[in-house]
Chain A
């Protein structure tokens, strides 16, 4: 039976091979000779920084010995946070997620490490090391005894935000898993959590859920505002000014009511976020928020009238969005929809704003727009643009856009969007070029693969 390899044995072999003394290697590695000697004689364990110095001096890749370090100093001995903590940080830095997982599996029996693991997860989260942070949050959540602990709720919140992607199925799952923990979150996080839940549900077109969450956010933010909660944010608190959450709740509720067909109620909520005169002595940041919501109110009023068939507002709407670059793409989406619904010729508008009809991150005066919302909006605008050109008998261009929309629908894993594209393509198949048919065949295979994954079968027959 072969002896278990150790780092010290590897180092010893190296020194013999290179004919180096401890003193010479200490000089090469930047370690103190006495320290290195103690380490090599097993008098003291190797610290992470020392291991990194030794590894570099041996000419090996960063993290080369980490798996062995886990065996020698974490698993074979009683784990000490003075070694575990720095090891987790370094593994995260080098993206050695398997190593992180190995460490976690070993130390999770010791629940006293839970607070330390949580703190480390928060540090990694702040550094943007999401993959490693997710592993730690999952471990903490699993080990948490009390279902109602704030730490568990915060873990669930972090896992929710880190789990969001372009995939709508994944996002729905993430939102559904997190929502029961919302009320257990510390108040400082609840408004941002509600904001993010509203955006995810809006991207999924779940408007009754949006209305429910927005009502909750309005209620909580209003109470905090009326209680005179600090409007100036301290680091680590709300991401936006308090008044944003109140105004955004109105905006979300307006959209939700409009979706339910109640335009009057929708316009009522528009009037609420159009006028923020109740904000006393607004700061510079609050002024920016108020101005942005006021502009959105004006744009949305045009849009509501347009979607209700009052086509005469189109010119004013176009002029309005033309003066506000951030609103051109969302505005075009609505104009194309209205054009299809009311058979309006918008060729000149499309030509004027052609460069804006591409997928890019959306911004407002107060921050980024949710990536999930943008992805859904882009997928839909492609399909609507396709319908516009197909109705105008520009079949080649229309079918090309159908295929682009299908590709985007597959990327965001939206079944209804996929079916719509398939339906459109099949309806106009006789007009499709050979190239389009070939591309369609490839995309349908991807749809089949996606479907098979969902229902859990293999795709061997393909």
Chain B
């Protein structure tokens, strides 16, 4: 039970941090992620 609560709390924290309420007629866009993930260069992995 305790483990379930901890997991739910963690998930809710993530959802709460980024979910926006759905309002009809309002335009919707994604928030910028906290860290911009850059692509790896051509050739990396050779």
Binding site for B on A (CB under 8 A): 195, 199, 202-203, 205, 244, 248, 251-252, 254-255, 258-259, 292-293, 296, 299-300, 303, 307, 327, 330-331, 333-334, 337, 341, 362, 364, 366-367, 369-370, 372-374, 376-377, 380, 387, 390-391, 393, 419-420, 422-424, 426-430, 448, 451-452, 457, 461
Contact = CB atoms under 8 A, between A and B. Distances in A.
Contacts of A244: 46
A248 B46 contact: yes
A364 B45 CA distance: 10
Contacts, number: 103
28 contacts: A199-B44, A202-B44, A202-B45, A248-B46, A251-B43, A292-B43, A296-B43, A300-B43, A303-B41, A307-B38, A327-B42, A330-B39, A331-B42, A364-B46, A366-B46, A370-B45, A370-B46, A372-B45, A376-B40, A377-B40, A419-B14, A423-B17, A423-B18, A426-B15, A426-B19, A427-B19, A451-B7, A457-B3
Contacts of B43: 248, 251, 292-293, 296, 300, 364
Interface string B1-34: 1011001000100110111101000001111010
Given A258-B38, A296-B43, A377-B40, A420 B19 contact: no
B36 A341 contact: yes
A373 B44 contact: yes
B7 A448 contact: yes
A258 B38 CA distance: 9
Interface residues of B, number: 28
Contacts of A419: 14
A423 to B, nearest CB: 5
A461 B44 CA distance: 43
A391 B28 CA distance: 8
B39 A334 contact: yes
A387 B30 contact: yes
B39 A333 contact: yes
B39 A307 contact: yes
B3 to A, nearest CB: 6
B38 A300 contact: no
Nearest to B1: A461
B40 A369 contact: no
Which of A255, A293, A299, A307 has the most chain B CB atoms closer than 10 A to its own CB? A255
A236 B38 CA distance: 37
Nearest to A383: B37
Contacts of A369: 45-46
A289 B14 CA distance: 46
Contacts of A296: 41-43
A427 B20 contact: yes
A308 B24 CA distance: 36
B40 A202 contact: yes
A34 B19 CA distance: 83
B6 to A, nearest CB: 10
A457 B41 CA distance: 39
Contact of A427 (B18, B37, B38, B44): B18
Nearest to A459: B3
Nearest to A455: B3
A81 to B, nearest CB: 41
Contact of A393 (B28, B36, B44, B46): B28
Nearest to B20: A427
Contacts of A195: 46
Given A300-B43, A428-B28, A430-B22, 13 more contacts: A199-B44, A202-B45, A255-B40, A307-B39, A330-B40, A331-B42, A377-B45, A380-B37, A390-B30, A422-B14, A427-B18, A427-B19, A451-B7
A362 B1 CA distance: 45
A399 B45 CA distance: 29
Contacts of A300: 41-43
A172 B26 CA distance: 44
A258 B18 contact: no
A294 to B, nearest CB: 11
Nearest to A386: B30
A251 B44 contact: yes
Contacts of A252: 44
B45 to A, nearest CB: 3
Contacts of B15: 423, 426
Nearest to B35: A416
B22 to A, nearest CB: 4
